[in-house]
Each structure stands twice: as structure tokens, then as C-alpha cells.
Amino acid sequence: MEEMEEELKCPVCGSFYREPIILPCSHNLCQACARNILVQTPESESPQSRRASGSGVSDYDYLDLDKMSLYSEADSGYGSYGGFASAPTTPCQKSPNGVRVFPPAMPPPATHLSPALAPVPRNSCITCPQCHRSLILDDRGLRGFPKNRVLEGVIDRYQQSKAAALKCQLCEKAPKEATVMCEQCDVFYCDPCRLRCHPPRGPLAKHRLVPPAQGRVSRRLSPRKVSTCTDHELENHSMYCVQCKMPVCYQCLEEGKHSSHEVKALGAMWKLHKSQLSQALNGLSDRAKEAKEFLVQLRNMVQQIQENSVEFEACLVAQCDALIDALNRRKAQLLARVNKEHEHKLKVVRDQISHCTVKLRQTTGLMEYCLEVIKENDPSGFLQISDALIRRVHLTEDQWGKGTLTPRMTTDFDLSLDNSPLLQSIHQLDFVQVKASSPVPATPILQLEECCTHNNSATLSWKQPPLSTVPADGYILELDDGNGGQFREVYVGKETMCTVDGLHFNSTYNARVKAFNKTGVSPYSKTLVLQTSEDTDSEEQTLPFPVPSERLPLRRMSPFSSTLNLQPSFPGRSYFDFRSSPHQLSLHSSLQSLNAPGCNFETQSAPYSQLGKYTYLAWFAFDPGSAHSDIILSNDNLTVTCSSYDDRVVLGKTGFSKGVHYWELTVDRYDNHPDPAFGVARMDVMKDVMLGKDDKAWAITEGGIAKGATIGVLLDLNRKNLTFFINDEQQGPIAFDNVEGLFFPAVSLNRNVQVTLHTGLPVPDFYSSRASIA
């Protein structure tokens, strides 16, 4: 029965209910606690003032919601609680069990009457501390609420059933053993609480204090109080009103508000409601039984999880230790090879030292002997041996000149350890799902007839095998970095076609795809080798998988195509030798060659010639990632201005290394004669100075630039020159020549200028015709 104790405690004082009353919301309160949380309302909120004014709603909304009275027959007696934020005289407090309560606006007058008989302040309001519904009391005050005699009886039986010593009812934390009981207050006290809460002076001096055991006996022997009618205090309840769902007396039926209501015998309704409560408890008991069994199951799961965790950790440690042991063994083998190389190098050098030492000793001896011969004064004797000595000296000198003084061994070790595959495998070391409830999807098949590369973009298409019966929840497309590096995910979703933009030009990429569902992932498909665009000089282009012209704007028009971004981490590097394997497929298309460090929107190329029926245009925007922090971009990164009075540089997203490219910029704002510059630059150009101030940019400034002007930039990397146009008029023959490398469209401006970029434009006609003639 200990679980029931919280049901028997008042939400205000936290102790067992004493003379509990039932609020209209069906919650209970001690009668004394109910009086303590009364709040006096303004005069206009009283039932009398509302009845006199003829309005059911007060103009002074003290409780923020409608107030209802016990006088009305249709009145429910309570409304939603809206808080007392507007009443500074009634601050919110907390009861011992954490429920919000509101003390009275003024202390109750000293009286010797019981809480039920003591008068309450005029126009009082009470708020339930549990559901926060409020109501205004009528003239009867707290006497208008029925007494909960059943709850009193349950509390008495519960206290009598407790075999332990009686505890103090006023201790806040750990209740101490009670030493006395006040018969008038009906409260058990320990000595500290008695001195603090029940001092022997004033009105409390007349109260009778008895030992706890005697107080328990007096409680047990006290006769059970009979429930009386709240409207007629001298009448006992004898009938039950079906409409109001409350016990009533005979006088209520004759002259009260229940005279026209349907009533039934109190005993019959008592038995009926007991039966209904018993039936409801049977269902609740079944739920409680299931909850207990479920808790047992959860506790068993906790134990099983702990055991499985220990076992799995031990297995994981053993597997990692095995890998470490294998690595240590391989380490010892590699160290042995290094030591062998070390010994070999030392042996070669030491042998050369020994040989050179012997040779040097012989040479030194010959030199000393020749010096002594030169000292002889006998000409005939000298001439007899001089020829032989001269030959020996020349022969010895020749021997020193035949690489003898060159080391036979270098100090560097000609060994290089390639640990990248092992490190990659370690980084990819992960758990696999071995307890699959259903099979994983089949390996997807790449549809070569649908795959194509265009400019620096690649479109890939795949499908499930025709006989596959396991559905796939989605697919994962992976590409390497175009430099033989690690694969990385570029698309995860349900679509079976994807266009990847922003790849490096003239580069080879490896692509693969796998399917997944709730069980796991399928094996990878065959690796597809993709070659991005190369050159546009040749009039005939080889397209193993041609793309029709109506499919060129696939990323814009196709509802099932997904355009994603692959941001390379190595700008400007896009060339390497690819080694194919027997499991790899080859896809190669020779289109116009560009070289982009990274694009995140649609990018196509624009040669000045047409390849049969295929026409290509270049689309790009400004790059916010590489721009100066003062640059302000808008209009999908096509319009640019600046927040600073100093010149700041912004680059385009696409870089060019081959081909012919043309774009235009229109001047939207041009104030106070600024000095914008337009042209091309390398990736590492200075971003905080005017374009062209360093050796990393080529630009045009001034020269007829004004508001509304259109500046055209023509970059011909085939002829390695740069030409500018203003309002369709070419500015000189050629602005710059010998332009080689990787270049990005560039603009420098300050806050007095705003320009808009226009891409996807064809090369001017006169230049195209001139180029074709050349």
C-alpha cells in the first residue's frame, strides 16, 4: 500500500489530508489548506455585482478567463486558470510537493472557530493547485464544497495498517518519530516541530496534547462522520441525482435545484458505481500486470546487454590485437630489410675505404721515392731510371682518374614505404551487419547507354537487375577525386540518374554505385571510368555514347535527374596516368577542355565552332567561397557589389585552360567615378587590391565604362590572347597575348559600382569567322 501514499497527501501541505473537501474539478484539498490559498477578487468580480449588472463576464478580467459562480444551475463551477501575473499582492509559492499555491491577499483573522465555520473574505476565489482551474466562492464559502468522507476513511485505514512508529507530519525531509498528538489539530508532532509550529501560548495553549499511541487509538475509536448535504447541513444524503452526478437529500428534491432532475436510490447507485469501478480496475489491473512483466523483460535485457557488451568488447579487442600483431610482424620484416640494406651500404663504403687507403699508400710511397731520386746528382744513373719512373707516375695518375674518387654507394636509402592503402583500410574498418532479418538488395547495374560526360560534368544512370526480388530503399553514388584518391559519396537517394558538376577538366574519374535497404548495403557495381572534356581543336569528335541535343539541358528539364556538387580539394591539378583493371568499364568523350577547381551549379562549355549538331555554352557564376569578405553577391551569385570604398576582387566559379570563352558584364550602378576593372586572374590573385596590380591578373579599366555599359571579355586560350569589348566595340586588336595556364573570370570594384554577369553567350560572329578562316 506504500504506492498509494501519494494519493492520500494534500498537494498544498504535502501531508495526509485532514478534513478533505472535493473541488468541482474532482481534486481534493485539506479544508485548512483551501482557506490558506483563497484570493480576494475585486468587487466587480463578485456574483452579486455580476447579477446586478446583468453581465456574466467582468470587464476587469482578473483571471484572464471567464469566472463562473456556484449560483448558476448550468455553471460547472470552474474555468481555465490563466495565472495571477497581474496581482502583485499574491505571489506564487510552492508547497512541499512542488505544486504552485497562492497565499491569501491578507492574513485570516484570529478565530477559535474551525476552518469550515470561520468566515471567509468577501468575494474570495480559489484555484485548484493541480489543474489550475479557478472559481469564485458564494456566500457559503468553503461550506459549499462536499466533504470527502471516503478519503478520510482510506487515510485512517492506511495509517492504522502501518506497523512502524508514528512519524511527525510536519517534518520537511526525513520525518522524525512523533512524540505528541494534538487532539484539536489532529496532527502528530515531533519535539522540534511542536516547538516551532504548535507553541504552548495563545489559542494553542488550550489544545490538548496526548502521546502518539493514545492519539491513534482515539482516531480509531472516533465515530465515522455521516456525510451531510452541502445545501442543507442538517440533512443526510439519501438519493443520487443522475443529471448532476452527486448525492442529494430529500429537501433538495422538494425545494432545491434538483427537484426536476432524475434521481435514484443512493444504495442502488452505490452498488452500481462500485461494480463499474471494479470492472474498470480489472482492465487497469491487466495493464499493470503487463507493465510488471514488461519491466522484468527490460531488466533482463539490461543484464543481457551488459553480458553481450563484455563478450563483444573482448572479441573486438582480440581482433584488433591480431591486427596489431600482424602489423608488428610486418614491421619486423621491414626493419630486417632496412638493416640488410644498411649493412650492404656499410660494406660497400668500407671496401672502398680499404681499397682507396691501399692505393693512397702506394701513391704516397711512389711520390716519396721519386722525390729522393730527383735529389741524386748522378746524371747517368738518373737517366737510366727516369723513363720508367715517368711512366709509373702517369699510370698511377690515370688509375686515380677512372672514378676511383667517386663513392660507389649513396647515403640515401632506396626504399619507400607505401602505407596509404593500409591507412585507408584502417579508416574504412567498420562493423558489418551479420544478423540480417532480410537479404540486402542486389548489386545495381550501370546503364552505359545512358551514361555520358559533358564539359566538366558527368551523368550516370543505373538500375536494379531484372530478376531482383529485393527492393532497394535508395542508392549511394561514389566518385574518386580524379587523381586516383579515395572514393567519396556524391549522392544518396532514391533516384537512378545523377549529374555531377564541378569536376576537373581533362581528368579521369572512377565511379561506382551501391544499393541499400533497412537490412544493409549491396556490393558495389563495376567501376566506371569517366574521362572529362579534352580539346575542341579537332572538327571531328569521338563520342562513344553520344548525347542528343535535346538531352543537353538534362539537369534543368529532367524531373528525375539530380544535380550535385563535387568540390575538388586540389585546384588546378587534373592530370594523371590511369591504370585500368579487368573489372573496369571505359567511357571517354572528347569535348571542349576546361579546368574548374570547383563548381556548384550548371556548367557547360562554349566553343566558337559547332560539333555537328551539338552546340555547347558556358554557364557559371561568381564564387562566394574565394571572394573577399567585403564582396556582396546577389541574384544567384550573378550580381556583385562591395561594402568597402577600397577595391575588392571576386572570381568566377569556373576556370579555363583551353578553348575559346566569352562572357559579358553590365554596369548596374556607377557613382562618383569609381575605377572598376574587368578581366581574368589566377586563383592566387590578391583580393584586396585593384585587379591587375600584381602579376596574377590581366584586366581593363576606364575606357568608356559608365552606368549601363556592357563589357565583353573574350579569352582565346587556343591563340593565347585576351580581348575586351565595350558596348560591342572591340577595344584595340588584342589586349594581352601569350596567355597560358588556368584563368578565372575576375572583377574588382568598390561600393560605388554594381555589375551583373551574363554567361552562356556565343563568341562574337566576326571573331568566329576570323578564327575559322585562320
CATH number, position 500: 2.60.40.10
Is 543 within a domain?
A: no
**What is the band of 501 on the pLDDT scale with cuts at 50, 70, 90?**
confident
In the 8-state DSSP scheme, what is residue 419?
-
Q: Which residue has the higher pLDDT, 552 or 438?
A: 438
Contacts of 408 (CB under 8 A, 6+ apart): 348, 349, 352
Closest CA to 642 of 669, 666, 664, 678: 669
Res. 612: pLDDT tops 60 = no
Mean pLDDT, rounded, for 417-444? 80
Q: Write down the pLDDT at residue 162.
A: 65
Buried b (16+ CB within 10 A) or exposed e, 747-756: bbbbbbbbbb
Q: Write down the pLDDT at residue 523.
A: 93
Q: Which residue has the higher pLDDT, 212 or 540?
A: 212
Distance, in Å, from the CA atom of 446 to the CA atom of 602, rounded to the nearest integer, reads 23
Sign, Cα dihedral of 6, 7, 10, 15? negative
Task: Indicate the burial class of 177 (C-beta count within 10 angstroms; 0-12, 13-18, 19 or more).
Answer: middle
- Could you tell me if 326 and 374 lie in one domain? yes
Q: Write down the pLDDT at residue 217.
A: 54
Mean pLDDT, rounded, for 72-99? 39
Distance, in Å, from the CA atom of 456 to the CA atom of 603, rounded to the nearest integer, reads 7
- Could you tell me if 125 and 205 lie in one domain? no
Q: Write down the pLDDT at residue 591.
A: 28
Q: Do residues 189 and 178 lie in contact, with contact meaning Cβ atoms separated by under 8 Å?
A: yes
Is 1 within a domain?
A: yes
Residue 54, all three cell numbers = 446583468
SS3 182: strand
In the 8-state DSSP scheme, what is residue 441?
P
SS3 348: helix
Is 580 within a domain?
A: no
Res. 567: pLDDT tops 50 = no
Q: Which residues pair with 499 in a beta bridge?
A: 459, 563
- Could you tell me if 7 and 156 lie in one domain? yes
Q: Write down the pLDDT at residue 89.
A: 36
Among 76-80, 480-484, 726-730, the least confident range: 76-80
Among 55-69, 178-192, 416-430, the least confident range: 55-69
Distance, in Å, from the CA atom of 692 to the CA atom of 734, rounded to the nearest integer, reads 16
Measuring CA to CA, how many Å separate 581 from each of 386, 419, 489, 578, 588? 73, 21, 22, 10, 16
Q: Write down the pLDDT at residue 738.
A: 85
SS3 765: helix
Sign, Cα dihedral of 283, 288, 289, 294? positive
Sign, Cα dihedral of 73, 74, 76, 81? negative
**What is the band of 121 on the pLDDT scale with cuts at 50, 70, 90?**
low
DSSP secondary structure, 428-447, as one string? T------S-SSPPPPPPEE-
Closest CA to 513 of 532, 527, 533: 527
Bridge-based pairing state of the strands 527-531 and 584-588 = parallel
Distance, in Å, from the CA atom of 27 to the CA atom of 770, rounded to the nearest integer, reads 96
Distance, in Å, from the CA atom of 410 to the CA atom of 762, rounded to the nearest integer, reads 59
Q: Write down the pLDDT at residue 729.
A: 85
Distance, in Å, from the CA atom of 297 to the CA atom of 285, rounded to the nearest integer, reads 18
- Could you tell me if 672 and 734 lie in one domain? yes
Q: Write down the pLDDT at residue 133.
A: 84
Among 68-77, 273-282, 295-304, the least confident range: 68-77
Q: Write down the pLDDT at residue 40.
A: 62
Sheet of 209-210, strands arranged across: 187-189, 180-182, 209-210
Among 104-113, 122-131, 264-273, 286-295, the least confident range: 104-113
Res. 262: pLDDT tops 80 = yes
Bridge-based pairing state of the strands 562-565 and 497-501 = parallel
Distance, in Å, from the CA atom of 304 to the CA atom of 310, rounded to the nearest integer, reads 10
For residue 759, the tally of other CB atoms under 10 A from its CB is 23
- E strand map for 447-487: 452-454, 457-463, 474-479
Dihedral angle computed from the Cα positions of residues 200, 202, 207 and 211, in that order, rounded to the nearest 10 degrees: -10
**In 3-state terms, the chain is what percent helix, strand and coil (to 5)?**
30, 20, 50
Half-sphere exposure of 698 (CA within 13 A, CB side): 21
Distance, in Å, from the CA atom of 714 to the CA atom of 730, rounded to the nearest integer, reads 10
Distance, in Å, from the CA atom of 476 to the CA atom of 161, rounded to the nearest integer, reads 68
**What is the band of 161 on the pLDDT scale with cuts at 50, 70, 90?**
low
User: Please, where are the H alpha helices in 259-378?
Assistant: 266-374
Distance, in Å, from the CA atom of 166 to the CA atom of 455, rounded to the nearest integer, reads 90
Among 161-170, 247-256, 631-640, the least confident range: 161-170
Res. 54: pLDDT tops 50 = no
**What is the band of 478 on the pLDDT scale with cuts at 50, 70, 90?**
very high
Distance, in Å, from the CA atom of 79 to the CA atom of 534, rounded to the nearest integer, reads 79
Angle at 59 between CA 58 and CA 60, to 5 degrees: 90
For residue 446, the tally of other CB atoms under 10 A from its CB is 19
Q: By percentage, how much of the chain surpasses pLDDT 90?
A: 21
Q: Write down the pLDDT at residue 58.
A: 37
Q: Write down the pLDDT at residue 703.
A: 66
Is 309 within a domain?
A: yes
- Could you tell me if 396 and 449 lie in one domain? no
Which of 498, 531, 564 is a domain's end point? 531
SS3 175: coil
**What is the band of 222 on the pLDDT scale with cuts at 50, 70, 90?**
low
**540: alpha, beta or left? (left if phi > 0; alpha if psi -120 to 50):** beta
**What is the band of 154 on the pLDDT scale with cuts at 50, 70, 90?**
confident
Residue 349, all three cell numbers = 663504403
Mean pLDDT, rounded, for 372-388? 88
- Could you tell me if 140 and 173 lie in one domain? no
Closest CA to 595 of 658, 537, 651, 535: 658
Q: Do residues 757 and 666 lie in contact, with contact meaning Cβ atoms separated by under 8 Å?
A: no
Is 287 within a domain?
A: yes
Contacts of 382 (CB under 8 A, 6+ apart): 373, 376
What letter represents residue 116's amino acid?
Answer: A
Angle at 467 between CA 465 and CA 471, to 5 degrees: 70
Q: Which residue has the higher pLDDT, 533 or 297?
A: 297
Q: Write down the pLDDT at residue 668.
A: 93
Res. 261: pLDDT tops 90 = no
Q: Decide: pTM greater than 0.85.
A: no
Res. 365: pLDDT tops 90 = yes
Chain length of the chain: 774
- Could you tell me if 471 and 514 lie in one domain? yes
Res. 735: pLDDT tops 70 = yes
Provide the domain limits for residue 395: 277-400
**What is the band of 774 on the pLDDT scale with cuts at 50, 70, 90?**
low
- Could you tell me if 679 and 748 lie in one domain? yes
Is 562 within a domain?
A: no
Which of 203, 219, 235 is a domain's end point? 219
Angle at 518 between CA 516 and CA 524, to 5 degrees: 20
**626: alpha, beta or left? (left if phi > 0; alpha if psi -120 to 50):** alpha
- Could you tell me if 24 and 149 lie in one domain? yes
Report pLDDT digits (tens) over 19-34.
888 888 888 989 888 8
Residue 72, all three cell numbers = 448558476
Task: Indicate the burial class of 768 (C-beta count within 10 angstroms; 0-12, 13-18, 19 or more).
Answer: middle
Buried b (16+ CB within 10 A) or exposed e, 300-332: eeeeeeeeeeeeeeeeeeeeeeeeeeeeeeeee
- Could you tell me if 393 and 505 lie in one domain? no
Q: Write down the pLDDT at residue 42.
A: 60
Q: Write down the pLDDT at residue 102.
A: 47
Res. 380: pLDDT tops 70 = yes
- Total structural domains within the chain: 5
**What is the band of 701 on the pLDDT scale with cuts at 50, 70, 90?**
confident
Measuring CA to CA, how many Å separate 238 from each of 148, 225, 227? 16, 15, 10
Residue 455, all three cell numbers = 564539359
For residue 714, the domain's CATH number is 2.60.120.920
**What is the band of 35 on the pLDDT scale with cuts at 50, 70, 90?**
confident
Distance, in Å, from the CA atom of 580 to the CA atom of 438, rounded to the nearest integer, reads 35
Res. 483: pLDDT tops 60 = yes
- Could you tell me if 658 and 752 lie in one domain? yes
Angle at 590 between CA 587 and CA 594, to 5 degrees: 115
- Could you tell me if 644 and 692 lie in one domain? yes
Q: Write down the pLDDT at residue 613.
A: 31
**What is the band of 219 on the pLDDT scale with cuts at 50, 70, 90?**
low
Res. 714: pLDDT tops 50 = yes
Contacts of 178 (CB under 8 A, 6+ apart): 165, 166, 167, 168, 169, 188, 189, 190, 212
Q: Which residue has the higher pLDDT, 45 or 479?
A: 479
Mean pLDDT, rounded, for 325-329? 94
Is 720 within a domain?
A: yes
Among 281-285, 446-450, 568-572, 652-656, the least confident range: 568-572
Is 259 within a domain?
A: no
Which of 343, 368, 400 is a domain's end point? 400
Element (H, E) at 125: strand 124-127
**What is the band of 514 on the pLDDT scale with cuts at 50, 70, 90?**
very high
Contacts of 429 (CB under 8 A, 6+ apart): none
DSSP secondary structure, 208-241, as one string? PEE-HHHHHHHHHHSPPPPPB-SSSTTSB--EEE
Mean pLDDT, rounded, for 495-513? 86
Highest-scoring range by mean pLDDT, 222-236, 393-407, 706-720: 706-720
Distance, in Å, from the CA atom of 226 to the CA atom of 147, rounded to the nearest integer, reads 10
Q: Write down the pLDDT at residue 228.
A: 74
Highest-scoring range by mean pLDDT, 394-398, 741-745, 754-758: 754-758
Distance, in Å, from the CA atom of 250 to the CA atom of 246, rounded to the nearest integer, reads 13
Q: By percentage, how much of the chain surpasses pLDDT 70?
A: 73
Distance, in Å, from the CA atom of 599 to the CA atom of 493, rounded to the nearest integer, reads 21
Res. 90: pLDDT tops 90 = no
Mean per-residue pLDDT over the chain, rounded: 75
Q: Write down the pLDDT at residue 310.
A: 92
